[in-house]
Amino acid sequence: MRLPAGFSIEGLNLTEEEKKEHVLRLDKNLYGQKQAGRVWYQHLRKNLIKLGFKPSEHDECVFYHGTTIFIVYTDDTILLGPDKKEIVSIYKKLNAAFKIEDQGELSDYLGIKIVRNSDGTMEWSQPTLTNSILKDLGLVDVKTSNQPTTRTTPSLTTVILTSHDEEPNHDESKSFNYRQV
């Protein structure tokens, strides 16, 4: 790392030219640098393997420990499995190695809303993303029309998108962006 502007070394009065000859040695990678995520992942992977996890052959973000699965995305993780005792045991080991925080039952992960049903099934949805896409496309308050189309379509439930005023929109700047959809 080059010396930043205005940096001085105690006891040395270096000229700007002499400063160009000096560099700083980093003791550890700085958060936010291009390689910080890679260094963090290498550290995490090494420690997970020490704790008995096996990395997935198909996805670098997934690790297995018996019937328990550990999923990581940057610094957001999920620890899940069928055996609660095994999860608690693994959590204690992970907490000793990384000082993690248990956020309780999983209800949201990376913008995905997760609802656990009483029958054990789970529903996953992305309402925030869906609403954002609909808003970007101008489809939040779109009215639908059940008028039959003049074209032949394979679907019997064809819906015609109409503008708010129910009149055809011939303004090119306000036309519906089918490519983006």
CB neighbour list of residue 79: distance below 8 Å, 6 or more residues apart: 68, 69, 70, 87, 90, 91, 94
pLDDT of residue 157: 47
78 three-state secondary structure: strand
**Other CB atoms closer than 10 Å to residue 73's CB: what's the count?**
10
Q: What is the pLDDT along the chain (181 residues), one digit of tens a residue?
A: 667 777 777 777 777 777 777 777 777 666 667 777 888 889 999 999 999 999 999 999 999 999 999 999 877 888 988 888 999 999 999 888 888 888 888 888 888 898 989 998 889 899 888 888 888 877 777 666 666 655 554 454 445 555 455 555 555 555 556 666 6
**Contact assessment for residue 61 and residue 71, using Cβ atoms and an 8 Å cutoff:** yes
Report DSSP letters for 45-75, one per residue: HHHHHHTT-EE-SS-TTEEEETTEEEEEETT
Q: What share of the chain is helix, strand, coil (3-state, %, to 5)?
A: 25, 20, 55
Q: The dihedral of CA 130, 134, 135, 140: what is its sign?
A: negative
Per-residue CA distances from 124 to 43, 91, 107, 131 (Å) = 31, 24, 9, 15
pLDDT of residue 61: 92
For 83, the token pair is 């055996």
158 three-state secondary structure: coil
Q: Which domains does the chain have, with CATH numbers?
A: 36-104 (3.30.310), 142-174 (no CATH)
Q: What crossing angle do the helices spanning 36-50 and 84-98 adopt, rounded to 10°? A: 130
